[in-house]
């Protein structure tokens, strides 16, 4: 089993605490889940969240996929979502650059949809 790691960052105009409440704490209501996952760590004070996909999704070539998310304030009053993804592959399986790019685009798209929702509903998650 090998591991493939990639990092990405997505910026938002939404303050870090508000984005964390929506994107992490209320994710089950805002983001439809099609995979089974396990929460590994949740730190509301430091705005971090780690979870592992254990069933569904691209697990045909992976034992599991771990995500480590930290939302930090940006200098302009918004936030930056820092995400580290670790794909634990089965045997000699590999993941293509196209699959990694697609995963990044999907994650970024979900974050931006939550941002758009918060901009449309500014009184939520204060």
- In this predicted model, what pLDDT tens digit does every residue of 102-126 receive, in sequence order? 888 888 898 999 999 999 999 999 8
111 exposure class (CB count in 10 Å sphere: 0-12, 13-18, 19+): buried
Q: What's the pLDDT score for residue 84? A: 95
Q: What's the pLDDT score for residue 106? A: 86
Q: What's the pLDDT score for residue 17? A: 96
The pTM (predicted TM-score) of the whole model is 0.87
- In this predicted model, what pLDDT tens digit does every residue of 45-92 receive, in sequence order? 999 999 998 887 767 788 888 999 999 999 999 999 999 999 888 888
Q: What's the pLDDT score for residue 1? A: 62
Domains of the chain: 3-120 (3.30.530.20)
């Amino acid at each position: 089993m090998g591991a493939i790691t990639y990092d990405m960052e997505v910026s938002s105009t939404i303050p870090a605490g508000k984005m964390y409440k929506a994107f992490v704490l209320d994710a089950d209501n805002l983001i439809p889940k099609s995979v089974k996952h396990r929460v590994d760590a949740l730190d509301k004070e430091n705005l971090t969240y780690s979870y592992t996909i254990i069933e569904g999704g691209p697990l045909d070539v992976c034992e599991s996929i771990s995500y480590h998310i930290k939302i930090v304030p940006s200098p302009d009053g918004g936030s930056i979502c820092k995400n580290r993804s670790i794909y634990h592959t089965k045997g000699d399986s590999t993941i293509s650059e196209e699959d990694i790019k697609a995963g990044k685009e999907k994650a970024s798209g979900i974050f931006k949809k939550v941002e758009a929702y918060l901009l449309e509903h500014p009184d939520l998650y204060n």
